[in-house]
Amino acid sequence: MQLSLKVRQGIISLFLLFFLLPSSFFAIEQAFYTQLLTSTEQKLEVHMYSILAEVQPKDGKVELSNNLLPPDFYRPDSGLAAFITSENELLWQSDSSINQQFDPPTHQILPASHEFVLMEQYQQKYWVLSFSVLFDLGDNTLPLTIHVVQNDQLLQEPLKAFRKTLSQWFIGIALVLIGLTLLAYYWITKPLTSLDKEIHKLESGQQEQLLHDYPSELNKIKEDLNLLLANQNRQKQRYRHHLSDLAHALKTPIAVLRTSKLSEQPELREQLDRITGMIEHQLKRASSSGQDLWHKQIKVKPLIDKLEQALSKIYRDKGCQIEIQCTDQVVFRGDETDLMEILGNLLDNACKACNHNVKISAFGKPLQLDIEDDGPGIPTNKREELFERGTRLDTYKEGHGVGLSIVSELVKSYSGELQVSQSPLGGARFVIRFPESGIK
């Protein structure tokens, strides 16, 4: 199953909107978050070296003035704090940590090494940069670990602000992308729409070739279609001319035979009539447009009205009433002559066979034609014989069957179906279905 262009365009648009754009959003957000972490680690490292430069060990303790540190270390609830521990013993902490519920890490790290980790305590998250050193006190050494702590909230606030700004931009980009997608779809499919309209005009008989200018990808198709149509018309005309020449060539010897004394013999006259009928039958079949690649759309009702007027005059003495059920929207995709041949034969037979009433209905898509009469009908065992080639159908009562072989061939040439059944009116009912015709 081939997906339509609309579905394909929709899939691409959905992919861009619900996969590519969100992926880009999260990638940019993650890159910004990674940069924030790097900046935070560098900032804490600067603070750590500032603290390390001011540390003065004395009697197993350390002295350090908060006034020498950045203001955030002595401002309560600033989100930034510092601790100095020695072998899990707290030796010093900044003023900003007094109201902060945080316990410095107790695990040991190697001297002259540092670590930057995320810790969660008391339902709060903290980024902690720890650095371990050994102070030389002369007789011994004092291991110290400096912990610089920043509340994760200080990291989340710029991230939220960035995410909000990024969301606004991406929503704008998504709206612009939707607009551009719709515009691109209209721009790209416009030539296809024009081509489709021109093909419909070809089918309806409004034009005989594709005339518009198309992009290079479609221009080749246009040229091929025009070449195909031109070749088909030439072959069709050549075929009909040859058949017409053949018919004229056969008429002269047949006419001579008809005027000879031999034609007075019933057997020979019957064979001459049969030859004449076969020639006319094959000419009708060959002239059919059922195999045409393009069919014109012929309105059915005007043809039915024309036939009704003619048959009403022919069967005026019989008092034949023809009821028509057909709207102006019902069309036949094919040749007008073929439809006239089909309807003319069937309606003429119905008028011959009827007592007074004939009914013709044309409706539906695909097109269905019903021709009914109130005559004696056709016996079930005779219905199959109506369409057999070579059968003298005019031997049936009231003329049923005249030209039905031609009608059957024409219907089949359009891939249609022809069925015979009993009509509610009491007589015969002929039902024809054309798969490619119907209501506009």
Q: What's the token pair of residue 262?
A: 């031999």
Distance CA 339, CA 330 (A): 13
- Map residue 330 onto helix, strand or coil: strand
Q: What percent of the chain has pLDDT over 90?
A: 30
CA distances to 72, 101, 150, 152, 163 from 124, rounded to whole Å, are: 19, 9, 11, 8, 22
pLDDT of residue 95: 86
Q: Which of 166, 164, 161, 157 is nearest to 40 (CA)?
A: 157
Provide the phi-psi class of 144: left if phi over 0, else alpha when psi is between -120 and 50, else beta: beta
**What average pLDDT does the segment 17-34 reach?**
91
- The gap from C-alpha 274 to its chain's centroid, in whole angstroms, comes to 55
Q: Which helix (H) or strand (E) holds 118?
A: strand 114-121
Q: Contact, 376 vs 435, CB < 8 A?
A: no
Q: How confident is the model at residue 437 (pLDDT cuts 50, 70, 90)?
A: low
Higher per-residue confidence, 10 vs 396: 10
- Cβ-count burial of 321 within 10 angstroms (0-12 exposed, 13-18 middle, 19+ buried)? middle
pLDDT of residue 398: 43
Q: Contact, 436 vs 414, CB < 8 A?
A: yes
Q: Which of 392, 402, 312, 399 is nearest to 357 (CA)?
A: 312
Mean pLDDT of the chain: 83
Strands (E), 122-197: 124-136, 141-151
**What average pLDDT does the segment 174-200 reach?**
86
User: How large is the C-alpha radius of gyration of the chain?
Assistant: 48
**What average pLDDT does the segment 125-130 reach?**
94
CA distances to 25, 286, 412 from 230, rounded to whole Å, are: 56, 19, 25
Q: Contact, 275 vs 311, CB < 8 A?
A: no
pLDDT of residue 186: 86
Estimate the crossing angle of helix 336-353 against helix 404-413, to 10 degrees.
140
Q: Contact, 228 vs 293, CB < 8 A?
A: yes
pLDDT of residue 52: 87
pLDDT of residue 281: 59
- Which pLDDT tens digit goes with each residue over 352-411? 999 999 999 998 888 999 999 999 888 888 777 776 654 544 444 444 444 687 788 888
Distance CA 170, CA 216 (A): 36
Pair type for strands 56-58 and 61-63: antiparallel
pLDDT of residue 117: 94
Higher per-residue confidence, 274 vs 20: 20
pLDDT of residue 164: 94
Q: Is the pLDDT of residue 59 over 80?
A: no
Distance CA 438, CA 120 (A): 76
Distance CA 56, CA 241 (A): 119
pLDDT of residue 396: 41
Distance CA 247, CA 406 (A): 17
Q: Which of 343, 327, 323, 324 is nearest to 335 (CA)?
A: 343
Distance CA 129, CA 158 (A): 20
Higher per-residue confidence, 240 vs 344: 344
**What average pLDDT does the segment 290-306 reach?**
76
Distance CA 203, CA 435 (A): 15
Q: What's the token pair of residue 340?
A: 């006239």
pLDDT of residue 393: 42
Q: Is the pLDDT of residue 344 over 60?
A: yes
Q: How confident is the model at residue 284 (pLDDT cuts 50, 70, 90)?
A: low
Estimate the crossing angle of helix 404-413 against helix 266-286, to 10 degrees.
20
Higher per-residue confidence, 205 vs 134: 134
Identify which of 226-235, 297-306, 430-439 has the greatest average pLDDT. 297-306
Q: What is the full DSSP assignment across 191-232?
A: HHHHHHHHHHHHHHTS-SS--S---HHHHHHHHHHHHHHHHH
Q: Contact, 430 vs 370, CB < 8 A?
A: yes
DSSP 8-state secondary structure symbol assigned to residue 396: S
